[in-house]
Amino acid sequence: MSEDTTKGTNKTVTITDDSTGKQATFPLVTGTDGPPVIDIRRLYAELGCFTYDPGFIATGSCESNITFIDGDKGILLHRGYPIEQLVRHCSHLEVCYLLLKGELPNQAQFDKFSSDITNHTMLHEQLHNLYRGFRRDAHPMAIMCGVAGALSAFYHDSTDINDPYQRMVASYRMIAKMPTIAGWAYKYSLGQPFMYPKNDLGYAENFLWMLFGHPCEEYLVNPVIARAMDRILILHADHEQNASTSTVRLSGSSGANPFACISAGIASLWGPAHGGANEAVLKMLGQIGNKANINEFVKKAKDPEDPFRIMGFGHRVYKNFDPRAKIMQKTCHEVLNELGVESEPLLELAMALERIALEDEYFIERKLYPNVDFYSGIIFRALGIPTTMFTVLFAVARTVGWIAQWNEMIEDPTQKIGRPRQLYTGSKRRDAAPIEERQ
């Protein structure tokens, strides 16, 4: 990160406080792409007021070199590379290297990175006891939060955030161990034995092995399914300052260890407005049932009094198609073809719902399009993954984005602890009476 924040322009923005007549001028900073930002760090000092932006609709929380989204054009770049090209030419581990280190690896760099990750895929054997503390029907995201956070109790040699080597080890450990944590969470829910990672399998293959393998017979991973899983991991890897990534950054800004920060990110991703939407889409499609009911549910979604929303639709940043949704839909057809699924009623229902919504003035006016979660649940179900595991897969994929953004924040010389201000509308100062004097 450079100290100079007025990149590419010496333009400024002047704000006048009409109530006091005071004026202040602030730098207008332009980045490589995207809207310029007003650097308002001196706003309170100059004008004695705060900005007010619940939900951070128009607020940049940091400078970042990792991912860029153009929501109007439906563009997603990771370190400048379009997501469509990364999905076509790279594996998830290559994209992990890119997100962490800023460049795509050559073969030698990839081989070293892949070997390092592979050698961190096992979990401390004592963690079996932590799993055993959960009910069998615990939501696997609860297990993911618990086990990810617990890693800081096992890997003390990679919790010093000021040591670049320890940060790298913690980063590799998180990326390597999340598929194992997720696979074991699934096996625990089934009452089946945990499957250990196999060093001769690729990242996505190993994940599928730990999800679906069992000791009683050889489980051969279908290469087409493995490639589809690898592509799905790429599509979910990083996405600028979304809610869970912002949670990881805010947690990390206090100096918390990386395992605790990732646990916080998992918790935030769990929400149905965020990563939990893929699970919510399946439930919604189940509620709709068949195409005849679509119009009734679209009407509910448009009713401001009705809390029902078309899950998997809409996005804070994309006001055009989420490029990931397009690739996800294509992958959906490929997986279903590979599995010999002639017709998937859920997919047909989802496509009919998409068609009707996209032609509806309410959705057109609000620029509501399918997002990454709209089709992912249908693929996961076709792969035999239970609904409760959908957001777990999202968390496995997003771990590299969280950890890359966490490293970027730690390495930013201008980084401070995140501490937003507020608009206070509570009681003025008043005296407290002892309980015997209260009515």
Check residue 360 for interaction with ligand SDX (CB under 6 A): no
Check residue 390 for interaction with ligand SDX (CB under 6 A): no
Closest Cα to residue 201, out of 178, 235, 218, 226? 226
Q: Is 333 a catalytic residue?
A: no
Angstrom distance (rounded) from CA 211 to CA 393: 11
Stretch that binds ligand SDX, among 119-127, 248-256, 365-373, 416-424 (CB under 6 A): 365-373
CB of residue 316 to ligand SDX, shortest distance in Å: 3
Q: Is 315 a catalytic residue?
A: yes
Q: Is 331 exposed, middle or buried (0-12, 13-18, 19+ CB in 10 A)?
A: buried
Tell which positions 337-356 bind ligand SDX, by CB under 6 A.
Answer: none
Stretch that binds ligand SDX, among 99-107, 119-127, 258-266, 366-374 (CB under 6 A): 366-374
Size of the site for ligand SDX (CB under 6 A): 22
Given the structure tokens 């005849």, which residue do they identify? 292
- Which of 78, 238, 315, 360 is labelled catalytic? 315
Check residue 242 for interaction with ligand SDX (CB under 6 A): yes
Question: Quick one: 205 or 373, whose CB is closer to ligand SDX?
Answer: 373
Question: Quick one: 195 or 298, whose CB is closer to ligand SDX?
Answer: 298
DSSP 353: H
CB of residue 312 to ligand SDX, shortest distance in Å: 5
Check residue 325 for interaction with ligand SDX (CB under 6 A): no
| Rounded alpha-carbon distances, angstroms, from residue 309 to 43, 174, 227, 318, 365 | 38, 34, 32, 17, 16
Question: Quick one: 22 or 366, whose CB is closer to ligand SDX?
Answer: 366
CB of residue 109 to ligand SDX, shortest distance in Å: 27
Q: CB nearest ligand SDX: which residue?
A: 314
SS3 of residue 258 by DSSP: helix
Given the structure tokens 């401001």, which residue do they identify? 304
Angstrom distance (rounded) from CA 104 to CA 86: 10
Interface residue with ligand SDX among 37, 351, 372, 389 (CB under 6 A) is 372
Check residue 366 for interaction with ligand SDX (CB under 6 A): yes
Tell which positions 1-60 bind ligand SDX, by CB under 6 A.
Answer: none
Check residue 74 for interaction with ligand SDX (CB under 6 A): no
Angstrom distance (rounded) from CA 381 to CA 342: 15
CB of residue 189 to ligand SDX, shortest distance in Å: 24
Nearest-5° Cα angle at 413, 407 to 419: 80
Check residue 312 for interaction with ligand SDX (CB under 6 A): yes
Question: Quick one: 189 or 241, whose CB is closer to ligand SDX?
Answer: 241
Check residue 377 for interaction with ligand SDX (CB under 6 A): no
Angstrom distance (rounded) from CA 189 to CA 180: 14
Angstrom distance (rounded) from CA 132 to CA 269: 24
Tell which positions 154-173 bind ligand SDX, by CB under 6 A.
Answer: none
Check residue 239 for interaction with ligand SDX (CB under 6 A): yes
Check residue 400 for interaction with ligand SDX (CB under 6 A): no
Angstrom distance (rounded) from CA 56 to CA 53: 5
How many other CB atoms are there within 10 angstroms of residue 57's CB atom? 7
DSSP string across 75-123: EEEETTEEHHHHHHH--HHHHHHHHHHSS---HHHHHHHHHHHHTT---
Check residue 373 for interaction with ligand SDX (CB under 6 A): yes
How many other CB atoms are there within 10 angstroms of residue 142's CB atom? 15
Check residue 326 for interaction with ligand SDX (CB under 6 A): no
* Residues that bind ligand SDX in the complex, under the rule CB under 6 A: 239, 242, 273-275, 277, 301, 304, 309-317, 366, 368, 371-373
**Catalytic residue list:** 315, 373
